[in-house]
A and B are shown apart, each in its own frame.
Chain A
Amino acid sequence: DAKTTQPNSMESNEEEPVHLPCNHSTISGTDYIHWYRQLPSQGPEYVIHGLTSNVNNRMASLAIAEDRKSSTLILHRATLRDAAVYYCILRDWKGGSEKLVFGKGMKLTVNP
């Protein structure tokens, strides 16, 4: 499974934008970039995913570099509820198993 690299942790301030980086230099052409987050004492929650183009949804935006070797999850206005562990995951459809392989993730702290 292709690997991703994230910082161990980040801090942000409430109501400010947050940019969460992810490096995936060995990404293949069939890998989708997925983001999940896990709030304390809860199961992971889907945030967003993309292949090549930038993506937006009600939770966040995903900016994908032109060479696809990195991506950035953007929370436009952080709230205290966004404090969580964020996982950047590559998901390859080619093999057909569709499994999601989690790394350690990145802990986001939001300061009031």
Chain B
Amino acid sequence: EAGVAQSPRYKIIEKRQSVAFWCNPISGHATLYWYQQILGQGPKLLIQFQNNGVVDDSQLPKDRFSAERLKGVDSTLKIQPAKLEDSAVYLCASSLSRDKLYFGPGTRLTVL
């Protein structure tokens, strides 16, 4: 089965610019997650969707980050404007059941 797809794989931007990441989950997976992983740390959950509704966005910096999941399939995570501390790998994951999450390869963001 095809895995979780993410694009782009790498992105370099200047601070105060905006950036968007795209995620295509595994077909049929109702739950979609966005995680942020700063170098040397474990992934931190930013937002969780169940179909196209938000289940948990308690750790999403809503003044600059936004995410949507139209039609309960693909999702986009946006940062506007970016700060230096947003440099990280952004991971998308999806799940069908409560047992396991399937992660994509991530998008490495560098903010200069």
Chain A contact residues, CB within 8 Å of chain B: 36, 41-46, 49, 87, 93, 97-105
Contact = CB atoms under 8 A, between A and B. Distances in A.
Interface of B: 4, 31, 33, 35, 40-45, 48, 55-56, 91, 93, 95, 98-106
Given A44-B101, A46-B99, 17 more contacts: A41-B105, A42-B106, A43-B104, A43-B105, A44-B43, A44-B91, A45-B103, A49-B99, A97-B48, A98-B48, A98-B55, A98-B95, A98-B98, A99-B45, A99-B56, A100-B101, A102-B44
Contacts, number: 51
Contact of B41 (A36, A43, A104): A104
Contacts of B95: 98
Given A43-B106, A46-B100, A46-B102, A102 B56 contact: no
Interface centre among A44, A93, A102 (most CB of B within 10 A): A44
A55 B98 CA distance: 17
Contact of A43 (B44, B56, B91): B91
A108 B48 CA distance: 29
Nearest to B91: A43
Given A98-B31, A99-B48, A93 B98 contact: yes
Contacts of A42: 103, 105-106
